[in-house]
Amino acid sequence: SLPERVTIKEVGPRDGLQNEKEEIKTDDKIEWINQLSETGLSYIEITSFVHPKWIPQLKDAVEVAKGIKRKEGITYAALVPNMKGLERAIEANVDEVSIFMSASESHNKKNINKTIDETYPVLREVVEEAKQEGKSVRGYVSTVFGCPYDGKVDEQQVINVCKNLFDMGIDELSLGDTIGVANPIQVGKFLDLIGTEFTKDQIALHFHDTRGMALANTLVSLEKGYYIFDGALGGLGGCPYAKGASGNVATDDLVHMLHEMGIQTGVDLDQLLQAGQLIQGKIEKSLPSKQMNICRQT
């Protein structure tokens, strides 16, 4: 049955911005995140402590994390690939760190420059140290439903990666459809499979809308009882190391659908759209979501 309430995790300031070519000013990012904090969201992934050469757009991660106004009740999280990233995240005092790796070898290598087996000890150390610092830890698995280089990814391989991350002590796992290839039947079957391994409060869904299937995949997940979803406001985003990956499911379209279905999110759609207009003005291009499109026409 459908959940009564859904938790939305806004990843736009990280997953959205990481793919923007034009440099966005640090103050503009801070202003946007501060406005996102006023929308009722309970979780915002604000930046990423990866190598600045790999993702130049987010090289100001420490300044952003230190510059925003923290609102009580909101978890401010950031991506961390290794110990160097964790040091910076601790300096910037984020609430939660997100480690990440791929279920497919080729994407893992392209994205973080290591094989899957080489990645585990790096992440294990990050989780241990982050926990000692009192941070909660989220894990992402990318290319769960398909890889831009390796094609279809073996489901058992995905489950092994998930189990290994939970063994390290992560609190929650986000399943990434990095290049937006998943279809609702595939998602439903996969959720049935992992439902025998993990509980629903351990799993988030991270859909990209590259082929327009993100809301359909969300609906199937809701019907299976899952209630934690990642989104990027306006549909900003992509993965720079997955060719053709476009934005995440738009948080505004997601909120709209959920509210129309009678499912609570705690997010105020009008406030969200105002925050969408703010970042749209900064990046000087139209955001792809349906809700933002309606906004532009009224």
Give me the active site residues, please.
239
Question: Of 39 and 143, which CB lies nearer to Mg ion in the complex structure?
Answer: 143
Complex with Mg ion: residue 212 or 262, whichever CB lies closer: 212
Q: Which of 170, 172, 171, 116 is nearest to 143 (CA)?
A: 116
Side-chain-facing half-sphere of 231: CA atoms under 13 Å: 31
Among residues 164 and 295, whose Cβ is nearest to ligand HMG? 164
**45 three-state secondary structure:** strand
Q: Does 62 bind ligand HMG (CB under 6 A)?
A: no
Q: Considering CB distances under 5 to 8 angstroms, the limit depending on partner class, which of Mg ion, ligand HMG, none binds residue 39?
A: none
51 near ligand HMG (CB under 6 A):
yes
| Cα angle: 235, vertex 142, 163; to 5 degrees | 135
Nearer to ligand HMG, 6 or 86 (CB): 86
What minimum distance in Å lies between the beta carbon of 195 and ligand HMG?
20
Which of 119, 295 has the CB closer to ligand HMG?
119
CA separation for the pair 166, 20 (Å, rounded):
32
**Buried/exposed code over 166-200 (b: 16+ C-beta within 10 A; e: otherwise):** bebebebbbbbbbbbbbebebbbebbeebeeeeee
Is 55 a binder of ligand HMG (CB under 6 A)?
yes
CB 26 within 8 A of CB 282: no
Stretch that binds ligand HMG, among 125-133, 181-189, 236-244, 281-289 (CB under 6 A): 236-244
Look at residues 37, 17, 41, 39 and name the one whose alpha carbon lies nearest to residue 29: 17
In angstroms, the CA 151 to CA 171 distance is: 29
**Window 248 to 287, contacts with ligand HMG (CB under 6 A):** none
The window from 27-35, 79-87, 182-190, 272-280 that contacts ligand HMG (CB under 6 A) reads: 79-87
Q: Exactly one of 32, 43, 140, 226 binds ligand HMG (CB under 6 A); which one?
A: 140
Q: Is the separation of the CB atoms in 190 and 157 below 8 Å?
A: no
What are the backbone dihedrals phi and psi of residue 147, each rounded to the nearest 5 degrees, phi first? -120, 140
Q: Which does 81 bind (CB under 5 to 8 A by kind): ligand HMG, Mg ion, none?
A: ligand HMG
**Which of the choices ligand HMG, Mg ion, none does residue 100 contact, using the CB cut-off of 5 to 8 A by kind?**
ligand HMG
Give the number of C-alpha atoms closer than 13 A to the C-alpha of residue 53, restricted to the C-beta side: 1
Q: Can you tell me the distance from the alpha carbon of 12 to that of 96, in angstroms, rounded to the nearest whole number?
A: 16
Residues 161-220 close enough to bind ligand HMG by CB under 6 A: 176, 178, 206, 208
Cα→Cα distances 226→126, 179, 201, 219, 257, Å: 27, 21, 8, 10, 15
Task: Give the 3-state secondary structure of residue 234.
Answer: helix
Binder to ligand HMG among 47, 104, 108, 142 (CB under 6 A)?
Answer: 142
Among 65, 233, 239, 254, binds ligand HMG (CB under 6 A): 239
Q: How far apart are CA 287 and CA 235, in angstroms?
A: 6
Decide whether 161 or 295 has the Cβ nearer to Mg ion: 161
- Of 49, 145, 227, 229, which one interacts with ligand HMG (CB under 6 A)? 49
| Residues near ligand HMG (CB under 6 A) | 15, 18, 48-51, 54-55, 79, 81-82, 84-85, 88, 100, 111-113, 140, 142, 176, 178, 206, 208, 239-241
